[in-house]
Chains A and B, each alone.
Chain A
Amino acid sequence: MILTLARASLVRHRARTLLAILGVAVSAAMLLDMVMLATGMRVSFGSLLLSQGFQIRLAPKGTLPFDTDATIPDASHVVRTLMARPDVVAVSPVLGAQLHVEHGATSVSAAALGTIAAVQGDYKLLTGHAPTRDDEIVANDALLTALGANVGDTLRVAAGFDPQLRTFTGQRTLRAVGRVHFIYLAAGERALAMPLESLQAIEGASRTDRASLFMVRLRAGANVESARSAIEQTVHTVSAISTETAIQQVEQRLSYFRQLAFILGSVSLAVGFLLVTTLVTVSVNERLGEFAVLRAIGVRRTRILEQIMLEGAVIMIVGAVAGLGLGLVTARYLNSILAAFPGLPEAISFFLFQPRDAWLSLGLLALCGILAGIYPAWRGASLPIGPTLREEAVA
């Protein structure tokens, strides 16, 4: 019967009910977006870092990977030292540089990565094969398109310019043997990869046996933090960064978004609370006479409370479900804006949907709805019967 009463009351004021549902939906959408924003970056960045199975990264001491042009000396010695550790399964040294690339009459600059094909974790092969000879490279679509080149074509690369001699330095003629997708690069960034020693040779004496970064893969079950700490103590020229530390450091730099998420999420909850409180208060105030009569004929106070709370719950649930859809749409739009951050890896998502986020939002909203409705509902169900009936009669 209470279900019937609640349903009938909601249907009686259709416009009001629909508007309240819409209000709750908007609140739910914003809340969901903010929950996604608070966790999305961490989760997607963590997934990205672990996507190739490397748990630790070594960068020049005091820096973050590719934050500066600094490099690590004695790269081969570092690799041997690391591989000697029983908990290390693979080490991928990476050298980064900026090269000048020509194909026919077209020339562009591109990021270059020197890697060891067997252990590299920087790119995924789309077509062709990985470069193994010192005259081979692989490139991404952005570079190939900019040059008007294809897999199999010959490209000329140079490391720099000598303005006095007016010539390129470190020139090589290389063949593109594969098309790749670079995992950590921003969308549209032109890039190529070649064997590490080739890039070191192109860059000249300043880059002999040097690397910008080492990626370390540990065996299953190894303690990442212990390994990280031990490596940093053993190899003095590097800062060892675990995935967790890297995430924390990125989060710290982009902490603004988490704080924004918290603030806007709180505001959404507060407004949702206000909306439900107003709705329940108005709805109850209109029906004080009804509630007094119900109590007069023997309906318990708690039953009346149940009815009012049920009406609120229906609005919250329907609104929350509608808000879920709306939230996903707006999250996609907002993510597309933030994806334009320069240098942001394509795979990073600021708004990442996890079912847990939906449950968290729903739970928060439900709690908020209950708290918002409970006081006006209790008040309405607890008014003295006689005086209320009298006042309602006068009204």
Chain B
Amino acid sequence: MTDDGLLVSARGLRRDYPMAGEIVHAVRGVSLDVRSGEYVAIVGPSGCGKSTLLNMLGAIDAPSSGTLTIAGNRVNGLSDREATLFRLRHIGFVFQRFYLMPVLTAMENVELPMAEAGLEKAARRSRARELLTYVGLGERFRHRPTELSGGEQQRVAIARALANKPELLLADEPTGELDARTGAEVIGLFDRLNRDGTTLIVVTHDEELASAARRVVHMRDGVIVDEQHR
């Protein structure tokens, strides 16, 4: 984070990639600043580039051009190894399809990023337990993903994303696979996370989730067309 509280600073981000012999301009010169503690929703029709933008913000995808700074670190131009390490330490990611490891228990799934970061077993066990309790799964440590409902799986995924205390939490359609009631639970959890100080950027079609955010960024055809503050 910079002195003025700016956590994310993107300037002129572009992402082009070839598809079926043509060049697709998924993101076309997006500039975006996100302050620490903000709760931002990025909305737009399918194919407008919002997920691509999120992937760039999460250092999963490298921009074709433009600059991106997160927590004072220049992110564009990182090598694969550097980007992976950056994600491990600074970014938490929540996916639409949860993407938990089906062979691991809820506890082990949450421990995974901490193990990669080199945290000792006792410490990571303790933190995993703490996080699972925070997301409301205190009794389900030893359950495997196939033994959990969709909402429970997504909460485990959120706990995993928080494992290494990231500055930034990114979520791509986190309620996309959930029914309305479960989705509302997750929305409530995101709200709580933000009030507890987590910076959130979510990409969503879900109006409920978008309306829970403090700031909504509208995208169309790879560019930001509108912003609203609540």
Direct contact of A and B (CB under 8 A): yes
B60 and A385 within 8 A (CB) = yes
How far apart are the CA atoms of A392 and B111 in the complex, in Å?
24
A5 and B52 within 8 A (CB) = no
Contact A296-B102, Cβ < 8 Å, known A386-B61, A393-B97: no
A317 at the interface (CB under 8 A from B): no
A299 at the interface (CB under 8 A from B): yes
Q: Mark interface residues in A152-185 (1 if CB within 8 Å of B CB, else 0).
A: 0000000000000000000000000000000000
B161 at the interface (CB under 8 A from A): yes
A298 and B95 within 8 A (CB) = no
Interface residues of B in 68-95 (CB under 8 A from A): 80-81, 84-89, 91-93, 95
| Interface of A, helix, strand, loop or mixed by DSSP | helix
Binds B, one of A56-64, A125-133, A287-295: A287-295
Contact A298-B60, Cβ < 8 Å, known A290-B101, A293-B99: no
Partner among A4, A8, A289, A386 whose Cβ is within 8 Å of the Cβ of B60? A386
B64 at the interface (CB under 8 A from A): no
Q: Mark interface residues in A8-44 (1 if CB within 8 Å of B CB, else 0).
A: 1101100000000000000000000000000000000
B31 at the interface (CB under 8 A from A): no
Q: How far is the CB of B73 from chain A (nearest CB, A)?
A: 14
A77 at the interface (CB under 8 A from B): no
Q: How many residues of B contact A (CB 8 A)?
A: 36
A300 at the interface (CB under 8 A from B): yes
Most chain-B Cβ atoms within 10 A of its Cβ — which of A289, A290, A297, A384? A297
Chain A residues with Cβ below 8 Å from B112 are: 1, 294, 297, 299
Chain A residues with Cβ below 8 Å from B115 are: 1
A389 at the interface (CB under 8 A from B): yes
A301 at the interface (CB under 8 A from B): yes
A1 and B111 within 8 A (CB) = yes
How far apart are the CA atoms of A8 and B161 in the complex, in Å?
22
Q: How far is the CB of B47 from chain A (nearest CB, A)?
A: 12
B151 at the interface (CB under 8 A from A): no
Chain A residues with Cβ below 8 Å from B51 are: 386, 390
A303 at the interface (CB under 8 A from B): yes
Chain A residues with Cβ below 8 Å from B101 are: 5, 8, 290, 294
Chain A residues with Cβ below 8 Å from B212 are: none
B225 at the interface (CB under 8 A from A): no
30 chain-A/chain-B pairs, Cβ below 8 angstroms: A1-B116, A5-B101, A5-B103, A8-B101, A8-B104, A289-B99, A290-B99, A290-B101, A293-B95, A293-B99, A295-B84, A296-B60, A297-B93, A297-B113, A297-B116, A297-B161, A298-B86, A298-B88, A298-B91, A298-B113, A299-B112, A299-B113, A299-B116, A300-B84, A300-B85, A301-B80, A301-B81, A384-B61, A385-B61, A386-B51
Which residues of chain B have a CB within 8 Å of any CB of chain A? 17, 51-52, 55, 58, 60-61, 80-81, 84-89, 91-93, 95-97, 99, 101-104, 108, 111-113, 115-117, 160-161, 164
